[in-house]
C-alpha cells in the first residue's frame, strides 16, 4: 500500500483523521493547547467538508454532557480537551464510563493550576485515571492518528470510553510527516457504527441509563466495570494485530507496550508519551539499556510489563506527573504490579509545567539509578 505522507501540525492531523472516521456528533470547547483541533473541526464543517453535527458548547462541562447525551442515543461522537477543561468535565467523565458509553476523546496533555501554566505534563489525565476510561498514550503524531482509529473500534466493541493522550505543544503544535488513512481504508477496520439494541435510548425499546443504585447494588457495578476494563487488555492486543494488518504497519508492538533495545538489558527505562523519542535518541548507542514504551496506561498492562522486564537489574521510571503526597503515578502502579518481583526501581519526576527534558538529563538519570539514595527524585536541570 502506498502511503502518501503530508507535513502537518499534530492538531490538524488529528482533526483530519476524525473527519475521515466521520462521527455523527462533535462537541468541544477550545482550551490551549487543544484549540487547533477544535478550530479545524469547526472549519471543516463550516466549509462543507465534513458531515458531522458540530455543536458549540459554553464550557467543557457542557461539551462532555453533549457527547454523553448524543452517545446515549446511539451516535458515534467525539470531543477534545486539556488541563482545567478536563477537570471541569470530571463529573461527566465518570458518568460516561459508568453508563458504558463508547465516547472517544483527545486530551492534549497540559499541567493544571495553580499556579497557572499552559505547557505540557501529564497532571491532567493522571487526575482522572481512575474514572473508568481506557487511556492510550501517543509518542508521536503518527501514533496519535493510529490510536484515534483504534480508539473507536475498542470503544464500540467493548462499550467503554477511550481517551487518547497527546503531549500538548510537543505534539499538538509540532509539524511532522504523517500518513492519514483515507475514509475507505478506515471503514475496512472501523465499519459504520450500529449499536446493539438495548444499549442506547430508543422510544421503541425503552431502557434506563445511569440509574439510581442503592448500596445493595452499587458495588457490583464497579466490580463489573473494573473486570471489563482489565479484560479489555486481551481485546486491545487482538485488535491491534488486526489494525497492523489492515494498515500495513511494521513494528513489534502488541498494542499495550513496545520495547526498544538489546535482548538482555541490564537497565530498562520506562516512560509514556513523547519523552520516548528523547529517551531513544539519548540512549541509542547504549548496549545494555532497554526502553519500554507504555502505550496503554489504563487498564494497566502489568503482566506485559513484567515480561519485558525479565532479567533486568535496574528499572528507571521517568514521568511527567506526581501524585502529591506519594510518588509518580506510573511508578506507584508499577510497584503494585510487580508485587514480589525484585528490582532496583527508581522514580524520576521530570518536565513538570513544560520544563525541557533533555538528552543530557536522560543520560544522567540512567547513571544515577545505580547509586544509593532516594528512590523518588525531582529532576530539574542537569
The domains of the chain, with CATH numbers, are 6-246 (3.40.50.970), 259-378 (3.40.50.920)
- Among all chains, which residue has been given the C-alpha cell 525531582? 378
Quickly state the pLDDT bin for 17 (edges 50, 70, 90): very high
Q: Determine the Cα–Cα distance for residues 366 and 359; give it in Å rounded to an integer.
A: 11
Percent of the chain whose predicted confidence (pLDDT) is above 90: 93
Q: Determine the Cα–Cα distance for residues 292 and 257; give it in Å rounded to an integer.
A: 7
Q: Per-residue pLDDT for 238 more than 90?
A: yes
Q: Per-residue pLDDT for 339 more than 70?
A: no
pTM above 0.75, yes or no: yes
Quickly state the pLDDT bin for 342 (edges 50, 70, 90): low
Cell of 366: 540512567
Q: What is the CB neighbour count within 10 angstroms for residue 338?
A: 16
79 close to 64: Cβ distance less than 8 angstroms: yes
Identify the pLDDT of residue 381. 74
Quickly state the pLDDT bin for 338 (edges 50, 70, 90): confident
Cα 43 to its chain centre, rounded Å, is 25
Q: Determine the Cα–Cα distance for residues 91 and 165; give it in Å rounded to an integer.
A: 19
Q: Average pLDDT of 319-336? A: 96
Q: Determine the Cα–Cα distance for residues 230 and 232; give it in Å rounded to an integer.
A: 5
Q: What is the CB neighbour count within 10 angstroms for residue 156?
A: 20
Q: Per-residue pLDDT for 2 more than 80?
A: no
Cα–Cα nearest to 238, from 321, 311, 153, 120: 153
When computed from its CA atoms, the radius of gyration of the chain, rounded to whole angstroms, is 20
Quickly state the pLDDT bin for 314 (edges 50, 70, 90): very high
Percent of the chain whose predicted confidence (pLDDT) is above 70: 98
Quickly state the pLDDT bin for 252 (edges 50, 70, 90): confident
208 close to 198: Cβ distance less than 8 angstroms: no
Identify the pLDDT of residue 253. 87
Identify the pLDDT of residue 340. 66
Cell of 73: 442515543
Q: Determine the Cα–Cα distance for residues 52 and 341; give it in Å rounded to an integer.
A: 49
99 close to 155: Cβ distance less than 8 angstroms: no
Preceding amide of 366 cis, omega within 30: no
Ramachandran assignment for 248, one of left (phi > 0), alpha (psi -120 to 50 degrees), beta (any other): left
Identify the pLDDT of residue 1. 61
Identify the pLDDT of residue 325. 96
Q: Determine the Cα–Cα distance for residues 286 and 269; give it in Å rounded to an integer.
A: 12
DSSP state of 105: E
Quickly state the pLDDT bin for 170 (edges 50, 70, 90): very high
DSSP state of 48: T
Identify the pLDDT of residue 373. 86
Q: β-strand 296-298 against 344-349: which pairing, if any?
A: unpaired
Cα–Cα nearest to 112, from 104, 121, 103: 121
Identify the pLDDT of residue 327. 96
67 close to 117: Cβ distance less than 8 angstroms: no
Cell of 255: 498494542
Cα–Cα nearest to 182, from 25, 28, 6, 53: 6
Burial class of residue 48 in the structure, from the number of CB atoms within 10 Å of its CB (0-12 exposed, 13-18 middle, 19+ buried): exposed
Q: Average pLDDT of 272-297? A: 97
Q: What is the CB neighbour count within 10 angstroms for residue 336?
A: 10
Cα 245 to its chain centre, rounded Å, is 22
Cell of 52: 458531522
Q: What is the mean pLDDT of the chain?
A: 96
User: Which residues, including other chains, have CB under 8 Å from residue 140's CB and lie 6 or more apart?
Assistant: 171, 176, 274, 277
- Measured CA distances, 14 to 50, 163, 244 (Å): 14, 13, 19
264 close to 127: Cβ distance less than 8 angstroms: no
Amino acid at each position: 500500500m502506498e502511503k502518501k505522507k503530508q507535513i502537518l501540525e499534530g492538531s490538524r492531523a488529528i482533526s483530519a483523521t476524525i473527519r475521515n472516521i466521520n462521527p455523527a456528533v462533535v462537541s468541544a470547547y477550545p482550551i490551549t493547547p487543544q484549540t487547533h483541533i477544535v478550530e479545524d473541526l469547526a472549519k471543516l464543517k463550516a466549509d462543507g467538508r465534513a458531515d458531522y453535527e458540530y455543536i458549540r458548547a459554553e464550557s467543557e462541562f457542557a461539551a462532555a454532557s453533549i457527547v454523553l447525551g448524543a452517545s446515549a442515543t446511539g451516535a458515534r461522537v467525539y470531543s477534545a480537551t486539556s488541563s482545567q477543561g478536563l477537570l471541569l468535565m470530571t463529573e461527566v467523565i465518570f458518568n460516561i464510563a459508568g453508563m458504558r458509553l463508547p465516547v472517544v476523546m483527545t486530551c492534549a496533555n497540559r499541567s493544571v493550576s495553580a499556579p497557572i501554566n499552559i505547557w505540557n505534563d501529564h497532571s491532567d489525565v493522571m487526575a482522572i485515571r481512575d474514572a473508568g476510561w481506557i487511556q492510550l498514550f501517543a509518542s508521536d503524531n503518527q501514533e496519535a492518528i493510529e490510536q484515534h482509529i483504534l480508539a473507536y473500534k475498542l470503544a464500540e466493541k467493548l462499550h467503554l470510553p477511550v481517551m487518547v493522550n497527546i503531549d500538548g505543544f510537543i505534539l499538538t503544535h509540532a509539524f511532522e510527516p504523517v500518513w492519514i488513512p483515507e475514509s475507505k481504508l478506515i471503514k475496512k477496520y472501523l465499519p459504520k457504527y450500529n449499536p446493539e439494541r438495548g444499549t442506547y435510548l430508543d422510544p421503541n425499546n425503552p431502557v434506563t441509563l445511569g440509574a439510581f443504585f442503592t448500596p445493595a447494588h452499587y458495588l457490583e457495578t464497579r466490580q463489573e466495570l473494573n473486570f471489563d476494563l482489565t479484560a479489555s487488555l486481551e481485546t486491545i492486543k487482538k485488535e491491534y494485530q488486526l489494525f497492523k494488518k489492515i494498515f500495513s504497519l511494521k513494528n513489534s508492538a502488541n498494542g499495550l507496550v513496545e520495547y526498544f533495545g538489546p535482548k538482555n538489558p541490564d537497565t530498562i527505562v520506562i516512560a509514556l508519551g513523547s519523552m520516548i523519542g528523547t529517551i531513544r535518541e539519548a540512549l541509542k548507542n547504549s548496549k545494555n539499556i532497554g526502553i519500554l514504551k507504555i502505550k496503554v496506561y489504563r487498564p494497566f498492562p502489568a503482566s506485559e510489563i513484567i515480561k519485558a522486564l525479565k532479567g533486568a537489574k535496574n528499572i528507571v521510571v521517568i514521568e511527567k506527573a506526581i501524585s502529591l503526597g506519594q510518588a509518580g503515578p506510573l511508578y506507584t502502579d508499577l510497584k503494585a504490579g510487580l508485587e514480589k518481583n525484585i528490582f532496583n526501581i527508581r522514580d524520576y519526576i521530570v518536565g513538570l509545567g513544560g520544563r525541557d527534558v533533555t538528552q543530557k538529563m536522560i543520560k544522567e538519570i540512567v547513571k544515577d539509578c545505580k547509586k544509593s539514595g532516594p528512590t523518588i527524585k525531582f529532576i530539574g536541570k542537569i
